[in-house]
Structure formats: structure tokens, C-alpha cells
Amino acid sequence: MDLPRSFTIRESSHRLCNPFTSEKLAILGHAISPSPGTRMLDLACGKGELLCTWARDHGVTGTGVDISTVFIDAARARAVELGVVDRVGFVHGDASGHVADDPVGIAACVGATWIGSGVPGTVDLLRRSLAPGGMMLIGEPYWRREPLDQATVKACHVARKDDLLPLPELLEQFGDLGCDVVEMVLADQDSWDRYAAAQWLNTRRWLDTNPDDELADQMRTELAAAPAQHARYQREYLGWGVFVLMNR
């Protein structure tokens, strides 16, 4: 049980495996200002940057779960680096079936709603771990501009146009699921660039040191097309944000 190697190659230097920056993550933390000792569950936690930095900056405690052994190892190393190993822990496992043993004050899934087969299922999964009055964090892409054809949808790495919503409709969907949207912090085109462009350098450095790897041809083809595809499609059509929800 693990992510394909291509994912960890692309994101080898990333601390955040999504189009957020460290600055935006800090803005979100200050916006909701969790009390020291607040317990968190972060499903599909990636390299644990949310939990580790919020443990350092806000005194939260909690657990991250991710399917990637590489990411979990990086998360544990980050906890050591930031001196928060006594506050956070990380579990290698399938986040789609993980429910906290005891209710948590913040339940998060930032950028991986596939674990619940979409937003409704992910909200339902997070609710199963949430204490009364707690907050859910959902990271989710949306359409900045309506794609005109299936080629544009595919170039944005989305299977079907209806798999994503425009921002107003996404916010309405949260309401239809019985949630109040109480905060949001959105990525912008610059933060998309930082996420995507870092993947190109990671890929090139990997290719330079692994020219005979079985994935080399695939990664070379991807690198040749990725910059123009990002500028033409993802940068223009895809938005992304973290939305803070509370049960009504």
C-alpha cells in the first residue's frame, strides 16, 4: 500500500503536497487560532507540514495518516526537526477508513477528497471523528474559469468537468451538506506556480541521476510537456483552497 513512485519523484522537495505556500498555511492557522492542546486528525497528511507547524505555532496535538511511506518518513523527520515529536504522530495507512479513537477538535483532509470519493463522502468521514463544535478543514480544487471542452478538462488532470465545481457552487455544496463555511484561504496563481514548477526541477534532477530507471522515459515525456500545459490550462482554469467548516 503506497503511492506510485512518480508522485514522490515530482514532490521530493515539497513540504506541502498541494498548491498552498507556507505563508498561506500560516495565515489559515492564525485565522482559526486553535487553542493550545486542540487535538487534530489529518487524513492524507502528506509530509505532515500542517500538523507539525501548527503544533509548533499553536500547540495543537494530533495524528496524521497517509498511504505514502516516503511522505510518512518525511513527516516524522519534520516533527523531529521542529521539536514536536511529543505532540504529533504519523501512521502509514489508508486514510479512507480511518476514524479517530477519540473525538478531535479539528479534522482535516487537505487536497485528497478522493479518500471519500469526493467532497460529500469526505465530509461524512471527517464528521465521524469530530467533537461537537469542532472544525473540519477541506482542501479542494475548483474551476476558476469554465472549461470549454473535454481536452481542457483532461489537461487539468480532471476526469470529467462535473468532478469540480466553480467556487460559488462549491461553497453552496458545503451548505447543502449541513455545514457553515466559517473561513477559507485560497491559493493564487503564484502559489500554483510554486507547486507546479518545483515539480519540474525535482523531475529534472531525478532524471539526471536516474537516466536508466524504468520510469525515466515516462518522466522525461511528462517534463517536456508540463510547463506549457500548466501555463495554458492548470494556471488559468484551476483554483484551489482550504475551507473551514462547522456542523450546523
Residue 195 CB-density burial (10 A; 0-12 exposed, 13-18 middle, 19+ buried): buried
What are the tens digits of pLDDT across the range 184-214?
Answer: 999 999 999 999 999 999 999 999 999 999 9
Q: What is the CATH number of domain 5-247?
A: 3.40.50.150
Task: Give pLDDT, residue 211.
Answer: 97
| H runs (alpha helix) in the chain | 5-10, 22-32, 49-58, 69-82, 119-127, 150-155, 167-176, 189-209, 216-229, 235-237
Whole-number Å distance between alpha carbons of 243 and 186: 8
Q: What percent of the chain has pLDDT over 90?
A: 98
Average pLDDT over residues 110-115: 95
List, for residues 144-168, the tens digit of each pLDDT value.
Answer: 999 999 999 999 999 999 999 999 9
**How sure is the predictor about 3, in pLDDT bands with cuts at 50, 70 and 90?**
confident
pLDDT value, residue 138: 98
Residue 1 pLDDT > 90: no
What pLDDT score was predicted for residue 178?
98
Confidence of residue 113 (pLDDT cuts 50, 70, 90): very high
| Confidence band of 2 (pLDDT split at 50, 70, 90) | confident
Please write the tens of the pLDDT for every residue from 224-236. 999 999 999 999 9
How much is the average pLDDT of 124-136? 98
Where are the domains positioned within the chain? 5-247
pLDDT for 47: 98
